[in-house]
Chain A
Amino acid sequence: SAVISQKPSRDICQRGTSLTIQCQVDSQVTMMFWYRQQPGQSLTLIATANQGSEATYESGFVIDKFPISRPNLTFSTLTVSNMSPEDSSIYLCSVEDPPGAGALNTEAFFGQGTRLTVV
């Protein structure tokens, strides 16, 4: 199974500033995703980080607010820009690999998350 290192694990930031979250995987993976988990809620997909091209954003999320980099197959960053208290959430990096021959399923692996508080 993939091992994902995500940092920082938590941060408290001033409104109007930006924070960049890093996600490092111990093996090359095809698909990397960024999720947000607001307090008391489930996970919502922000975007797919594509290697060599722009990220693909879900409805309600835009590149100016959440710029993403994916320079190679083991690393990605998510920036939360011009933060407001509404951005206080847990941000999670996730990776999946397509199943190999004969395998029934993929499995999403998650980083330990970044708990962001904006004050």
Chain B
Amino acid sequence: GQNIDQPTEMTATEGAIVQINCTYQTSGFNGLFWYQQHAGEAPTFLSYNVLDGLEEKGRFSSFLSRSKGYSYLLLKELQMKDSASYLCAQPRMDSSYKLIFGSGTRLLVRP
């Protein structure tokens, strides 16, 4: 099956920068998603990468290397409200509209 790996937990300080890594299966690649999920809430879309390189959206950026099967989410100028789980996901090989999610990285931002 498709395996998506990301760290379970990370801790960072308010105002700092944090990078959350994700490795995924490269065969049948059809894009890589990042979602943010606050405790008790639904996931919300952050980014979608299908081409190599870095895409910046305000404080959040997402990077993709298709040859390495690697992506990361970069969060700058961390705020307390960024404490959440960050989910890496990719479309399934048998159906691009169905997503496989990683286990999520729980980020704790401390003052």
The 6 lowest CB-CB distance pairs between A and B, nearest first, are A110-B42, A105-B48, A42-B101, A43-B101, A42-B103, A31-B97
Residues of A within 8 A of B98 (CB): 33, 45, 48
A3 to chain B, nearest CB (A): 12
Within 8 A of A (CB), among B92-111: 96-99, 101-104
Q: 0/1 per residue, B5-20, Cβ < 8 Å to A? A: 0000000000000000
Chain B interface residue count, CB cutoff 8 Å, equals: 19
Q: 0/1 per residue, B29-54, Cβ < 8 Å to A? A: 00101000000111111001010000
Q: 0/1 per residue, A37-50, Cβ < 8 Å to B? A: 00001111100100
With A31-B97, A105-B31 already in contact, the answer to whether A113 and B41 are too (CB < 8 A) is: yes
The verdict on B75 contacting chain A, using a C-beta distance below 8 Å, is no
* Prevailing SS type, chain B contact patch: loop
Q: Give the B-binding residues of A (Cβ under 8 A).
A: 31, 33, 41-45, 48, 92, 96, 98, 104-113, 115
- Is B45 in contact with A109, judged by CB distance below 8 angstroms? yes
- Is A106 in contact with B42, judged by CB distance below 8 angstroms? no
- Is B99 in contact with A42, judged by CB distance below 8 angstroms? no
Question: How far is it, in angstroms, between the C-alpha of A111 and the C-alpha of B41 when the chains are bound?
Answer: 9
The verdict on B64 contacting chain A, using a C-beta distance below 8 Å, is no
Question: How far is it, in angstroms, between the C-alpha of A43 and the C-alpha of B43 when the chains are bound?
Answer: 10
With A41-B103, A110-B42, A115-B40 already in contact, the answer to whether A104 and B50 are too (CB < 8 A) is: yes
Residues of A within 8 A of B96 (CB): 106
- A33-B97, A106-B97, A110-B42 are known contacts; what are 14 more A-B pairs with Cβ within 8 Å? A33-B98, A42-B102, A43-B87, A43-B99, A44-B101, A45-B98, A92-B42, A105-B31, A107-B45, A108-B33, A108-B45, A109-B45, A111-B42, A113-B42
